[in-house]
Chain A
Amino acid sequence: MLLLGVKTFVRKLGQNLFIALQLAVTLILMVQIVSSVENRVGLYMPIRQFFSGRGAIVGCHMVMGDEQEIKSKFSDVTDVNGGYITGLSYAPKGSTGEKSYGAEALDNNFINTYTPEMESGVWLSDADCSADSSIKAVVTESTFGYTTGDIVEADFRPTDDAEFQNVSIEIVGVIKDDSPILGFSIQIYNSNSDFRDLYLSNNKESNPVPLLITQKEQIEQKGIPYAFGMRNIILNFNDDISESEEQEISMHLANYGQAMTFTDFNRNNQKYVTEEIARILPLMVCIFILLIVSTVSLNGLSVKSQLKSFSIYYILGAKWRQCITINFISSIITSVIAIIIAATAANVINLMGLWSFTVVQFGRVQLLSCLIVIIINLLASLILPIAIMKSNTPKEIITSTE
């Protein structure tokens, strides 16, 4: 039976390759579409939990202190999230000059929320940041010359009037240029700001000074000072306050920088996400229609062309079910070839750099969408023969062509 399935495929090689090609194109389009959707909402989904309920985003102009200090100043603040500035200073690689560049820190909350694309090495969530190990850090691409595995000699003062202490920081990874990084964007608030403004994209061309990011828990543990400030931070308020109270607290927070309530912020987020989805939806619907129409018609064509052989098999002792199985095996081969074509084409496109205008990744969602395409195709190759064979008995098929 397997053999007959293979033969069935080979007999209509041209036609089946055409079907495979069509399927491959659909797969590539699907990956492309899903990627662009993911690209647009991929920055939103992980962080939306941080601005539920009441609260404000503050683009600080000054140092605000740690969470405790902020909470003590604003009794309605229940939680603070954002990137930290630290007391750590360092210099470019090999430089004996003054250590005048500051390092940053993220707490585990943010580290685990969004992983930027890495040029080399690993993101902080995959590094050993346990209490008794050395301080780990990631850097952005820069002219400072630090790469994965390098040790950065840094110093800090535990308190303002203490002596400088030296500390070694191990670079565990380099963040790719232009990859969004959560927590370090600076004051850019206007009434149109949305979630995208909580990310910073660094590029060594426009900013040669790297971002050197450590883990806040490690910094704290080594007695290095850290604080919120100079960056955008997210403040959550008590849930039982009203929208006007939210507005009022935000007014007070505006002393530290620009402040925007969650209410306004989320309105902008919603607007952006719906607009983007609305932009992509027609394309998705088109591709879906293309998928359905082409799979159904091509599979129908394929079954029709095999119908006579299947009737012959039937007369010689096959069950209809076996004929459908044979057709199904042929379809599976077609699908496998389609996947191979699609994967090859994707690699070629990638190598030629034609995809640089959109970020195409191949992750779980893309895999799932490809799986759906394949399943629809296989289902069509199961249902269509059943439908076609239902309307004609094998005898009718064989005698009608006599």
Chain B
Amino acid sequence: MIKVNNIVKIYNPKSSNAFEALHGVSTQINDGEMVAIMGKSGAGKSTLLHILACIDNYQDGEYYINDTLVKNLSEREYARIRNEKIGMVMQDFALVEDFTALENVLIPLNFSKQKVKNKKEKALAALKSVGIEELAKKPCSKLSGGQKQRVAIARAIVNEPAMILADEPTGALDTKTSAEIMELFTSLNDKGHTVIIVTHDPLVAEQCHRIIELSDGNIVS
């Protein structure tokens, strides 16, 4: 379970162009839920997701993962949470383009705190579960958008995190591929992963259990 409590996010806090992107956001997402975060462009969706993914800080409020307060932790702790607890699918896939699909999926395993055995088998299994095992040796620069998204998802799940975060995972894909990717997320959710998806697409949001609506840095529903 994750809980955010009055989260305030200010960009460039000490400078003259300081900008408050989140004005005290509170919500709770239970284990095994599949949630959509919606809202207009600039509403603060990505900002919130990045805070949940521990790749951005916040100025006020609290963020709990399973009752652990995620605030002012050591760099090592943050890295461990990102590596073990969270699978992040970034808006533009964030793949290392000249690595192969397999090499990309191996990255989280390489930074794992514990010694991981059979890294390659694990990575291949993750690729298989998103249906692109046969592309393992292909450089990512040669993959289509849908295939890249699958690699990104495989990479997000390879460490079996409890929580999968995705920023507009279908934004750059055609309808058919979008549907396939959403199927993937639904099946991951069925397997017990908490899934949080930022989206503009009502069809995507429809498939989630719940919609969190953001507007100008506030949760409106």
Mark A residues whose CB is within 8 Å of B: 1, 3-4, 7, 11, 308-309, 311-322, 393-395, 398-399, 401-402
Tell me whether A11 and B56 are in contact in the complex, defined as CB-CB below 8 angstroms, given that A1-B110, A315-B82, A316-B82 are known contacts: no
In the bound complex, CA of A301 to CA of B103 (Å): 24
Q: Which of B64-91 contact A (CB under 8 A)?
A: 75-76, 79-80, 82-84, 88, 90-91
- Known interface pairs A395-B50, A395-B55. Does A316 touch B107 (Cβ–Cβ under 8 Å)? yes
Interface centre among A7, A308, A315, A401 (most CB of B within 10 A): A315
Report Cα–Cα, A294/B50, bound state, in Å.
37
Instruction: Specify which of B95, B98, B108 is in contact with A11 (CB 8 Å cutoff).
Output: B98
Residues B90 and A315 in contact, CB atoms below 8 Å apart: yes
Assess whether A317 is in contact with B83, with CB atoms less than 8 Å apart. yes
B94 touches A315 (CB 8 A): yes
B39: shortest Cβ distance to chain A, in Å? 17
Q: How far is the CA of A103 from the CA of B75 in the complex (A)?
A: 77
Bound CA span A314–B83, Å: 9
Cβ contact of A317, chosen from B92, B98, B108, cutoff 8 A: B108
**Quick check: is B53 within 8 A (CB to CB) of the other chain?**
yes
Interchain CA distance A309-B95 in the complex, whole Å: 8
Contact with A along B87-118 (1 / 0, CB 8 A): 01011101110110001000110111000000
Closest to B99 in A: A7
- Could you tell me the distance between the alpha carbons of A83 and B142 in the complex, rounded to whole angstroms? 78
A312 touches B95 (CB 8 A): yes
Least Cβ distance of A398 to chain B in Å?
6
CA distance in complex: A318, B91 (Å): 19
Q: List 23 A-B contacts (CB under 8 A).
A: A1-B110, A7-B99, A312-B95, A312-B96, A313-B107, A314-B79, A315-B55, A316-B107, A316-B108, A316-B155, A317-B80, A317-B82, A317-B108, A319-B76, A320-B75, A321-B75, A322-B111, A393-B55, A394-B55, A395-B55, A395-B56, A399-B91, A402-B90
> Which one of B55, B79, B96, B108 lies within 8 Å of A309 (CB-CB)?
B96
B contact set with A: CB distance below 8 Å: 46, 50, 53, 55-56, 75-76, 79-80, 82-84, 88, 90-92, 94-96, 98-99, 103, 107-108, 110-112, 155, 159
CA–CA, A217 to B91, complex, Å? 86
Separation of A349 and B55 alpha carbons in the complex (Å) = 53
Decide if A319 touches B90 in the complex (CB within 8 Å): no
CA distance A309 to B104 in the complex (A): 10
Assuming A11-B98, A321-B75, A395-B50, is B90 touching A316 (CB within 8 A)? Answer: no
Q: Which of B88, B92, B99, B112 contacts A315 (CB 8 A)?
A: B88
CB <8 Å contact, A319 and B55: no
| A11–B99 CA distance with the chains assembled, in angstroms | 9
Say whether B46 contacts A399, CB under 8 Å: yes
Inter-chain contacts of B91 with A (CB < 8 A) = 399, 402
Whole-angstrom CA separation of A322 from B79 in the bound complex = 10
Q: Report B-chain residues with C-beta under 8 Å of the C-beta of A7.
A: 99, 103
* CB <8 Å contact, B111 and A316: yes
Q: How far is the CB of A297 from chain B (nearest CB, A)?
A: 23
The answer for the CA separation of A1 and B79 in the assembled complex, in Å, is 15
Taken together as a complex, chains A and B put the C-alpha atoms of A331 and B155 apart, in Å, by 28
- Select from chain A the residue with minimum beta-carbon distance to B98: A11
Tell me the nearest residue of chain B to A320, going by C-beta: B75
A309 CA / B111 CA spacing, docked (Å): 14
Contact B111 A317 (CB under 8 A): yes
Q: Which residues of B contact A11 (CB under 8 A)?
A: 98
List the A side residues contacting B92 at CB < 8 Å. Answer: 401-402
Measured between alpha carbons, how far is A363 from B83 in the docked complex, in Å?
Answer: 50
Asked if B56 and A393 sit within 8 Å, CB to CB, the answer is: yes
Contact A316 B88 (CB under 8 A): yes
Report A-chain residues with C-beta under 8 Å of the C-beta of B107: 312-313, 316
Decide if A315 touches B155 in the complex (CB within 8 Å).
no
